[in-house]
Structure 1
Amino acid sequence: MKKKDLFLGGGILFAACVLFLVMNLMQYVQAKENGQKENQEKQVVIKVDGEVYGRYALDEDQVIEVQEGDFYNRIRIEDGKAYMEEADCPDGYCEEQGKINNRTQTIVCLPHKLVVEIEEVENSDDSQNEKEHLPDTISK
């Protein structure tokens, strides 16, 4: 065995160890971010003509009836998902859009200018506890 082969083997072993540590660090950071996301509560936000009609907890089963002027929509929140249960719009596409439970998904009823979307908000209890532990002033 030559001296160069020994250095090459040691270099490869060192690179593998560094790569292993970097991968473990990335997993740790990702797990920590997922833990923070669990503290976020999801809300169903209903907007009519660009204005917020109401905000509703996604984890609470309920039915929201929206009646503005001549139109009627019924949104059902069930098992952590929201969907358009009934609408009196002429095309009915909003009823076919399925169930949503993620902030990247929306339900849109164009004839009624109604949008149903999911938002993530911080739990007020956790953020309040963090605010209580912050100092009021910092001095030298």
Structure 2
Amino acid sequence: MKFMVIVKATPASEAGIAPSEKLFVDMGNFNEELVKAGILLAAEGLQPSSKGARIRFDGAQRTVIDGPFTETKELVAGFWMIEVGSKEEAIEWFKRCPNPHEGVASEIEIRQLFGPDDFGTDLPPDVRAQEDRMREQLATR
């Protein structure tokens, strides 16, 4: 099972304040544990929303909205992609994670990714075949 583990933003992360050296080291050590366990697929921090944009869809219309975005608690500051046997295993791993925002209450969110099998017969066979081809191509990169 694949999961995205989402680090919620804080006012400090949105201001672009870098973590302390200790947090860099602690997070690096935690990430190394995930790699050694063979479960880490990707892990990245995100630039503040002031450097981002949103695209709003309304029918055929597309509207680009440049950052920053005001609702900090709704923003993502970083993420991990992991592959583990269950949600419970993901929870156990991330209970050991250093607090991603030192000195303040923060939270991470664990969300399972959909796979083609999760859609059962609702996924048209040609779309399933397309998904399989794309996943094979990605695996060779």
TM-score normalised by structure 1 residue count: 0.28
| Structure with the bigger percentage of helix | 2
TM-score normalised by structure 2 residue count: 0.28
> With CA pairs under 8 Å and 6+ residues apart, which has the higher RCO, 1 or 2?
2
Structure number, greater radius of gyration: 1
| Structure with the bigger percentage of strand | 1
